[in-house]
Amino acid sequence: MSAVIETKKLTKYYGKARGIIDVDLTVNEGEIFGFIGPNGAGKSTTIRALLNLIYKTSGEARIFGLDCEKDKVKILEDVGYLPGEVFYYDNMRAIDLLRYSASFYKKDCTRKIEELADILQLDLNKKIEDMSLGNKKKVGIIQGLLHSPRLIILDEPTSGLDPLMQKTFFDLIRRENARGATVLFSSHILSEVQRICDRVAIIRDGRIVKTQKISELKQDAYKRVSFTVKPDGGKPAGISVEGAQNVEVQGDTVSFIFKGDVNALLRALCGYPLANIDIAEPALEEIFMHYYAN
């Protein structure tokens, strides 16, 4: 297994402002790698440094074993990139933009463009500026995939896509992955990353906090639990079950983060006269709090 992306102590400062600090990242060939963190953590900075849109302050960044700054052109032959916000030239039809995009690669991309437009149900003859946000995004997706790249870099790609289209999009990414493409997928939505990725790196305040397999993360699966007791049930004092953390009581409502045996949790909950219950994935911040606590 060879590394497609490899960074060593990659650091970027914008003047004095922090971008990223000592980021070590290894993405292996053929995997779908999640890159997750809250807004402003440094996801985009890392990606933009990898793509040589910005120049690193120090450290090392390699793609396909080549240096990201020196061999940029060679690398980009085989990279497809989809930014979070898509902006394209004014006054152009989608097909014009895609043809222009295709003209940068040494292969015929016509078939692939048609195929992708078909899957995504996009009318290529419309002007891009007249399209909805979601359709602009589709143009972006096709634009990033039309040359069948070996590495696909996605920077918060799902915003603006409806759930159905999100599914189509994930299927598309899986298909590209099956074809042999490696995927770097940045997001701030944990469920999205869990849905598709093999491994995940968590970034916060410009530093990689942890890299782990999704399967391990799932074993670690935290739940955010909150329940409300009936008004006549008396004030709850909290909950005592193994694995409950950060317990907070507000009037009739108890909320906490839970990691452990769900059967034990359910048994414990049965002891209350419940009015309502909510078991959800914790917000990313709460997971980070956990990582900081440890």
Q: What residue ranges bind other proteins (CB under 8 A)?
A: 14, 44, 48, 51-55, 72-77, 79, 81, 83, 85, 87-90, 100-101, 103-105, 129, 143
Radius of gyration of the chain (CA): 22
- Tokens representing 99 are 């043809």
Burial class (CB in 10 A: 0-12, 13-18, 19+), 103: exposed
The whole-angstrom distance between residue 96's C-alpha and the CA centroid of its chain comes to 29
CA atoms within 13 A on the CB side of 41: 20
Min. distance of Cβ 1 from other proteins in angstroms? 25
Closer to other proteins at the Cβ: 12 or 199?
A: 12
Strand partners, 172: none
Closer to other proteins at the Cβ: 104 or 291?
A: 104
Closer to other proteins at the Cβ: 14 or 291?
A: 14
Is residue 169 within 8 Å of 158, Cβ to Cβ?
yes
Q: Which residue reads 């410009």 in tokens?
A: 206
Min. distance of Cβ 100 from other proteins in angstroms? 6
Say which residues have a Cβ less than 8 Å from residue 285's Cβ, sequence separation at least 6: 38
Closer to other proteins at the Cβ: 50 or 239?
A: 50
Closer to other proteins at the Cβ: 95 or 254?
A: 95
Min. distance of Cβ 54 from other proteins in angstroms? 4
Min. distance of Cβ 155 from other proteins in angstroms? 9
Min. distance of Cβ 173 from other proteins in angstroms? 18
What is Dmax (Cα atoms) for the chain? 73
